[in-house]
Structure 1
Amino acid sequence: MEGVAVAALRSVMLRVRQAAERSGRRPELVRVVAVSKTKPGSLIREAYDAGNRCFGENYVQEIVDKAPQLPEDIEWHFIGHLQSNKAKTLLSGVRNLAMVEGVDNEKVANYLDRAVSSLGRNPLKVLVQVNTSGEVSKSGVEPSNCVELAKHVKLRCPNLEFSGLMTIGMPNYTSTPENFRTLSNCRAEVCQALRMAEEQCELSMGMSGDFEQAIEMGSTNVRIGSTIFGPREYPKKQPN
């Protein structure tokens, strides 16, 4: 695999830059999270040495195992549903955790808030996860409830920093424009309710199959795994 991830990363960054320019925004306003689920630290290190600093994981145990073995200036993102009873494990095990993309209920928000406080760390950035595709298998609040959860995080969780909204999208990692439009509409409602400028509220949408379209529709944060690191490898079932 020597060099393969680096070449793929460079290709992705070029496509991100071109999509950002088509959307009329500067490329540096779009963050690329390299999602390294199931991949070894050596491959993450390759992408790090090529200049990438933002990486994401979906499983608590995996990120807790990997993070201490890799450079401290990595910005780690935890992506997807987090079980509330694993909030403290995640935060204590990953001191350089930059963001949780996937607060989907008040209980998780409260657990994270208390964990940040008990560890005495700086406020943690979080994104509220919205189920834009209406699939019962997907985590996330209904679009009609996104304002209520965003308000809870911003007003009742002093150790969390409400930073925006995210969606997983469709099951094959390609989303229709309606999914992205729904999240964008949620942002407009949240920003109006919280009196925030839309530029202060991130949109995390777009993955390997649809990130260019997502950027063109306003995404500020794309989560790209297999396009950079190759197909995922699942040796055994992992707990979330």
Structure 2
Amino acid sequence: MIKENLQEVERRICEACKRSGRDRSEVQLIAVSKTKPVSMIEEAYAEGIRRFGENKPQELRDKYEEMEKDIKWHMIGHLQRNKVKYVVGRAALIHSVDSVRLAEAIDQEAEKKGIVMPVLVEVNVASEESKFGVRVEECADFIENIAKMEHISVEGLMTIAPFVENAEDNRKYFAKLRELSVDISAKNIDNVNMRDLSMGMTGDYEVAIEEGATMVRVGTGIFGERNYNL
């Protein structure tokens, strides 16, 4: 099942790139493996997948210890300050920085480990009460603030779009994040590189790619429905 699902996802990514005049190499597929057993990750790994996304810090830590070391783990879920120690040094990228205090905790942990931790700033583009993330109008000031920290590097933006029946309904949010990225890039803030736009999930990643996503986070489309009872 995973092999066939990956082939279908790959086909759709290629088609979306073609429609938008982009090269396939511009888009990274993050296989969202949260709640999934190592055996399923190994299946995807056997098909060449090397980027996996996790929501829970302890789950990322445990899978990191168990799996091959050429995997790049992505922390895509909300991160609490007291869980930062499980992620820094194991994750290749943290997608969900949404407060100065969290950025400070990541900076301090990275300093302890002698590394610079790449992060994305999570933006609540649709201003949903139920979602984390900084507001669009606060984003530039927020980034200028956290960019002063020596042990993190801001590599771009991330958003979780609303759950919709029709993926087209989210196009405006993806376009807005892209626009915000361009505006912030133009400010030439030290220690900030608007290289990545992490947006789009199983239901809408093709639209996200058409609007400039460099990372799409696909879980259900690869691994099937999640078991939330784990």
Coarse TM-score class (shorter-chain normalised): over 0.9
Alignment partners' CA distance in 2, 1:69 and 1:89:
14
Which residue pairs with 1:58 in the alignment? Answer: 55
* RMSD (CA atoms): 1.8
Alignment partners' CA distance in 2, 1:23 and 1:120:
40
Q: Pick one of 71, 75, 81 that aligns with 2:78.
A: 81
**Structure 1 portions without partners, runs of 5+:** none
Q: Is the 8 A contact 1:73 1:96 kept in 2?
A: no
Which residue pairs with 1:162 in the alignment? Answer: 154
Higher mean Cα deviation, 180-189 or 104-113? 180-189
Amino acid corresponding to residue 186 of structure 1 in structure 2? L
Which residue pairs with 1:104 in the alignment? Answer: 98
Alignment partners' CA distance in 1, 2:15 and 2:193:
20
Alignment pair present for 1:226 and 2:220: yes
Paired residues, number: 227
Higher mean Cα deviation, 69-78 or 156-165? 156-165
DSSP 3-state at the match of 1:176: helix
- Displacement of 1:100 in angstroms is 0.2
Q: Pick one of 117, 128, 142 that aligns with 2:121.
A: 128
Which residue pairs with 1:49 in the alignment? Answer: 46
Alignment partners' CA distance in 2, 1:157 and 1:195:
12
Alignment pair present for 1:201 and 2:195: yes
Determine what percentage of the aligned residue pairs are the same residue.
39
Describe the shift of the 1:200–1:132 C-alpha distance in structure 2 as closer, same or farther (beyond 3 A).
closer
Alignment partners' CA distance in 1, 2:86 and 2:193:
32
Alignment partners' CA distance in 2, 1:189 and 1:145:
13
Higher mean Cα deviation, 182-191 or 218-227? 182-191
Q: Deviations over 1:148-188 (max 9, x none)?
A: 1222232x121111100000110358552121122112112
Amino acid corresponding to residue 170 of structure 1 in structure 2? P
Alignment pair present for 1:25 and 2:25: no
Higher mean Cα deviation, 135-144 or 76-85? 76-85
Alignment partners' CA distance in 1, 2:103 and 2:140:
14
Which residue pairs with 1:7 in the alignment? Answer: 4
TM-score scaled by structure 1?
0.89
Alignment partners' CA distance in 1, 2:104 and 2:3:
39
Alignment partners' CA distance in 1, 2:201 and 2:215:
10
- In the TM superposition, structure 1's runs of 4+ consecutive aligned residues that sit over 6 Å from their partners are none
DSSP 3-state at the match of 1:56: strand
Alignment pair present for 1:147 and 2:140: yes
Describe the shift of the 1:181–1:5 C-alpha distance in structure 2 as closer, same or farther (beyond 3 A).
same
DSSP 3-state at the match of 1:222: strand
